[in-house]
Structure formats: C-alpha cells, structure tokens
Amino acid sequence: MMANKKHHKSWLKNEEAKSSRNRSYYGIKEGVVEMYWDKAHECMDRQQLKELQSRRLVETVRRVYHNVPYYRQRMQEMGLVPEDINGVEDLHKLPFTTKQDLRDNYPYGTFAVPLSEIVRIHASSGTTGKPTVVGYTRKDIITWSELMARTLVCGGTTRDSVIQIAYGYGLFTGGLGVHYGAERIGASVIPVSGGNTKRQIMIMKDFGTTVLACTPSYALHIAETMEEMGIKKEELKLQYGIFGAEPWSEGMRREIESKLQISAIDIYGLSEVIGPGVASECQYKCGLHIFEDHFIPEIVDPETGEVLPEGEEGELVITTITKEGLPVIRYRTRDISALNYEPCKCGRTHVRMKKVLGRTDDMIVVRGVNVFPSQIESILMEIGETEPHYLLVVDRVNNLDVLEVWVEVSNRLFSDEVRKLEELNRRITNEIQSTLGLSVKVKLVEPKTIERSEGKAKRVIDRRKL
Amino acid sequence: MIQISVFLENKKGKLAEVTKVLAEHNIDMCAISIADTTNFGILRIIVNNPEKALEVLREAGYTVNTTEVLAVEVPDRPGGLHRVLDILSKGDISVEYLYSFVRRPAERALILFKVDDLKAAKEILKRENVSVLTEDDVNGL
C-alpha cells in the first residue's frame, strides 16, 4: 500500500507539470473557427497517442490490481496478472465492469485510493434506489477540468465568454463539471443551475450570456419561453450552446440553432467514467471526439461482449487511463454508438463516436436523470404489489421531458373509495419522485391496459421525437 | 349487504363493457353508482348474485372488490334521509358515500351507505328503529 501511494504521488506531480503547458489555440479555416484547448494532445499523432495510451493503460491496470480488491479478484479469476497487459492490444483480455459491479461495491468499494485522497464525491441514480457513487482525487478534478475545458472550447467557449450553466449542480456531475471547465478556460461563469426559466432568460439577457450549457430539451424550452415572453433572440448575445446529458436528434439541433441563432454542440459523458468531458463534438459536428489520451473506447457486441470491427455499431465500452479515484476498466456504458477513426477536418486526431443511438438496457434519460424501470418496480413492490404491472411513458411537452408512470390497479391495491385511490396515487407519486429526484405523473389504469409480450415485458414507451 | 366495486378508467365505452359482461351472465343490478375523477372511476353496484358477479368480472379481467355497505330504508318524504344522517352523525359515524336503489317499495326510499364503522352504525340504527335491510329483503323486492 505504501509503495503504491508513493508511486501515485510522483505520477500526480508529473501530470500537473504537463497540464500547465496547455495553450489554447484559435484560428479560422474555411470560415469555421478552429479552436483547441490542448492542441498538443487533441491533435496528437495517432502512433504517439497509442503509445501514450498503452503506457497509461499498463500503469492503470497495475494500480487497480494492487489497490482495488474487486479488480484483483476479477483478474485472478481470469488467470490474469498485471504483467499480462503490455499495451492497448491486450485490453480485450481484461474483464468488463458494469454498473452492477460498482453497485455491488457500494459506496466506495471500487475506489483505488484511500478516502483521504478523495476531494469530491458525486453520484448517479441506480436501479435499486441506491446511487452509484463516484470519487475524485485532487488530480482527477484537474483532469476533469482540463477535459471540460477542451469540451467547452470545442463548442466555442473562450476566456471572453460569459457562460450560463443551467445544468443541475449537486450530486449530478453536469453542473460542477461544466463549471470547473469554464473556470479553467477563464470564462465568466454564471452558476445559475437548472430551473426557473424566466429568471434564466432575464439573466441571459441582462448579463449578456454568450454560451448556454444545459440539456438540449431545456434549451428548447428556454427558446419557447422566450417566445411567450416576447423576447427576441436579437436581444440576447448568445452564440454557442453546449448540450448533453440526454439523447437528442439532428432535427432538434436544427430547431435549437434556428430558434436561438446559435451553434449547438453535443457533448458526452457519464459519471462512472468522469462525468461530462468524455467526448465532444467539434464545430464540424460530425461525431464526438473521445478524448483518447484519457479514455480508451471499444465497441462490443452487447450480447457476446466480443469486440466489433471498426465502424460497426454496438455497445460503447470505456476504460479510463488517467483517473485515480475511481478508475474503470472496460466499463459497459450501455450506450449504442460506433467509432470512426478517419481524420476529422478540425485537425483533432481523436476518434469520433457516433451520436448515441440508443441503449442496450431499458434505461431512459429524462431531463438528465437516469431512470430504470426496475426502480419503479421495487417501489411498487414496497407498496404491496407482488407482481406490479407498470409502464413508463416519456413524452416531450413544450420541449420538456415529461414522465408518466402507468400503474395497473390490482385487486390488492384497489379500494371502493376515491379518497383511498387518490391517496394511493399520491403515495406512489411521492415515492417515485423522492427516489428519482424527478417529478412524475402517476396514472392508475385498468388491468391488461399494459401490453404483455412474450418474455420480457415492455416497460418503456418513449414518445419523444428525437 | 355486499357491494361490488369495479375499477374503471375514465374513458368512453368503459362502462358499457362492464354492463355487457353482467348482462351476458344474466346478473340483475338493483342499485348503481359511479364515483369519478379526471382519470378513473369506481363503479359500485348491488346485484342479485354478488359471488357470480365477482367471478365473471374478474374473469373478464377487471379489478373488482367486494365491500360491505348498509342498505337503509327511509320514508320517502321531506326529512326522511336527514333523520338517518342525523342519527349517524350524532353517533360519530362518518359516511364515505351513499347512493340509492333503482327499485323500491312504494313510499319508501332505499339508501346505501358506506360508513367507517359498520358494526357501530348497525347498532345505532337498530336502537333508533331504522330498518337495515338484508340481501333477502332486497332480492324479494
């Protein structure tokens, strides 16, 4: 343990020294503003990049093997020792890590450093009511800030920007992630957090906001509210939008861009990996560059786990190679994407992932919150339903995601009194809202309203037109 | 008195589906009431054969419960119902809901009460000489 800690410190010093060499770069090519935060890394020669990844992977594997009993056990089960991993080409030998694995080790079991080294804890919603906990060392916060700085610069942010952060602050990684990146760049940060749309618009107008960071659905909602308030986009100084935390379509991008007269980019991340800052579109908007000097992506067959050939669609798997607090080895994101290694016009050499196409599980993302059908199921079972039949219906009303939960009323739950049924409705609503941290509308429905299919029951209807 | 309660979504045609099931099985309704909210409704009925009604409705896939309610005979004149409610109120019995029979003897009204304390309500009404009817009384109408 002592030896590892010593090693960990020297590594930290080295990385800090490197990060201070960052220079932001701006230029114009073919009418598109070219911007980099860390050009040396973002445009790194791919051979060098591979060597860097290999070095960092070997180091990460050694670290998790020695510091995380969970990873050591998994590797031992497979007959692996750290010496078996000599570079990126050996990555496929390592075991996968799933959200379930992290949850089984709740809360801190997969941390690779003692808690005294952890300076920040975030959490994301899990499937059983218990969140997945993620920890950051001081160095991780620096890494994350750097990656978010790259992301924001990709989207058009500079030190002259006034950035309004309307992602939620708190356990959710969105708000603070963007915040640290924006401060790192030296932009003027307005940490307004989510909600209170009219106030957001007032601030945007009066404070001269130039960059808006929020979920895409919220950006559209802001645009609609502006129309209702009679505020024209010309009254705003808004130029760029940094949107993520939920899936959105090209159609939605066009709508946001025309309604707010901005350039909107898609960003990608997940708290288990680091939060936002895993990948970002550049101004060419043709896939999201995964910051490969920190993460190694793979696309696997979600059923067999087999690594798929370049360009094929499958489940995105990510290995972190610089994270200290919670390194993840071959983390199954459950997001469906594909990788494109062709050079991008922007000059960045990092691989581009396709805009997320869907999920391999039933999880839905509603207003940036992960929702699993099984969460609803366990709530209904607690209320006394032995075999709950329910359906999650997600829709986008006035550009805001709305989640309805349909619950079939069984003889067990039923009462001849309206008051008791309304009480039941309220109770289910409250339980779900406090578990998800998201407002929902519960609808009691007759038995057999919800379609039964062979095998797996359909639990989700997503009516959002993405 | 056994009441059959059926959960219904507040949608067009839902009630007709239930009455169809009852008609097909030759079940006779002698009292009916619906409580409705924006989203759902509760159909409450008194039938000649509650066991059979429960069985066929459940078979048809409905959420159905039985509840015991009080069938009270009140004189069909001003103040008739008031007297019964007054007795219950003074006896600290709370009425959840009430509705009336479709069929009734001349100059008598038959009212169904769902109360919070059925046993106490029966005793109090008996003491005040209010007649509480049984299934047989109703079926004989």
Query: Residue A129 region, left (φ>0) first, then alpha (ψ -120 to 50), else beta?
Result: left
Residue recorded with tokens 């080295």: A14
In tens, the pLDDT along A318-340 reads 999 999 999 999 999 989 899 99
State the helix-helix crossing angle for A138-154 and A173-185, rounded to 10 degrees. 80
**What mean pLDDT value characterizes chain A?**
88
- Checking if the pLDDT of A39 tops 90, the result is yes
Predicted confidence (pLDDT) per residue in A390-410, tens digit: 899 999 888 788 999 999 898
Q: Output phi, psi for A101, to 5 deg.
A: -60, -40
Q: Which residues contact A83 (CB under 8 A, 6 or more apart)?
A: none
Residue B141's pLDDT is: 61
Picking from A49-63, A116-130, A429-443, B39-53, which range would have the lowest pLDDT averaged per residue? A116-130
Tell whether A181 and A124 lie within a shared domain: yes
Q: Would strands A390-397 and A460-462 be described as parallel, antiparallel, or unpaired?
A: parallel
Structural domain containing residue A36? 2-360
The answer to whether the CB atoms of B64 and A446 lie below 8 A apart is no
Residue type, A271: S
A408 and A326 in one domain? no
Where does a domain end: A360, A389, A405? A360
CA distance A9 to A324: 11
CB contact under 8 A, A446 and B9: yes
Q: How far is A216 from chain B (nearest CA, A)?
A: 31
Residues A141-162 have pLDDT tens digits of: 999 999 999 999 999 999 999 9
| Cβ atoms A57, A91 nearer than 8 A | yes
Q: For B70-139, which CATH superfamily applies?
A: VC0802-like (3.30.2130.10)
Q: Is the ipTM of this complex over 0.90?
A: no
Which of A88-92, A108-112, A366-370 is the least confident region? A366-370
What is the token pair recorded at A190? 């307005």
Whether B64 contacts chain A with CB within 8 A: yes
| Chain B contact for A416 (CB, 8 A cutoff) | yes
- The predicted-structure confidence for A267-279, as pLDDT tens digits, reads as follows 999 999 999 999 9
Greatest pairwise CA separation for chain B in angstroms: 45
Alpha-carbon span A215 to A464, nearest angstrom:
14
| Residue B48 DSSP label | S
Mutation for testing the B interface, residue in A406, A416, A418 having most B CBs under 10 Å: A416
Chain centre to alpha carbon of residue A247 = 10
Are A370 and A349 members of one domain?
no
Q: In the Cβ-directed half-sphere of B104, how many Cα atoms lie within 13 Å?
A: 17
Q: Which of A27-31, A88-92, A405-409, B54-58 has the lowest mean pLDDT?
A: A27-31
Choose which CATH entry (3.40.640.10, 3.30.930.10, 3.30.2130.10, 2.30.140.10) describes domain B2-68. Answer: 3.30.2130.10
CATH code, domain with A30: 3.40.50.12780
Chain A's closest residue to B61, CA to CA, is A447
- Measured between alpha carbons, how far is residue B122 from residues A123, A216, A337, B126 in Å? 57, 62, 69, 6
Closest CA to A85 of A299, A255, A319: A319
**Confidence tier at A358 by pLDDT (50, 70, 90):** confident
- Domain endpoint, select from A329, A360, A391: A360
Q: Hey, is the C-beta of A449 within 8 angstroms of any chain B C-beta?
A: yes
| Pick from A138, A463, A181: nearest CA to A324 | A138
Q: How far is CA A268 from CA A102, A242, A370, A382, A419, in A?
A: 20, 10, 14, 35, 45
How does residue A463 score in pLDDT terms, banded at 50, 70 and 90?
confident
**Per-range mean pLDDT, top range of A288-292, B61-65, B135-139:** A288-292
**Structure pTM?**
0.68
Chain B contact present for A304, CB below 8 A: no
Amino acid at A113: V
The count of other CB atoms within 10 Å of the CB of residue A29 is 11
Q: How many domains does chain A have?
A: 2
- Same domain? A240 vs A384: no
Closest CB from B61, B97, B114 relative to A447: B61
- Helices B50-59 and B14-24, packing angle to 10 deg: 120
B55 close contact with A: CB closer than 8 A: no
Contact B5 A409 (CB under 8 A): no
CATH code of residue A415: 3.30.300.30
* Residue A30: band (very low, low, confident or very high) from pLDDT cuts 50, 70, 90: low
pLDDT of residue A6: 46
**Cβ count within 10 A of residue A25:** 16
Same domain, A237 and A329: yes
Mean pLDDT of all residues in B61-79: 91
| Domain extents in chain B | 2-68, 70-139
Beta strands in B49-128 (DSSP E): 64-68, 70-75, 95-100, 108-115
> Are A112 and A7 contained in the same domain?
yes
- If asked whether residues A62 and A201 sit together in one domain, one would say yes
Chain A contact for B40 (CB, 8 A cutoff)? yes
- A446 and A329, same structural domain? no
Query: A29 and A148 share a domain?
Result: yes
Q: Are both A401 and A276 inside the same structural domain? A: no
Report residue A22's pLDDT band, with 50, 70 and 90 as the boundaries.
Answer: very low
Looking at residue A71, its pLDDT comes to 97
Same domain, A244 and A380: no
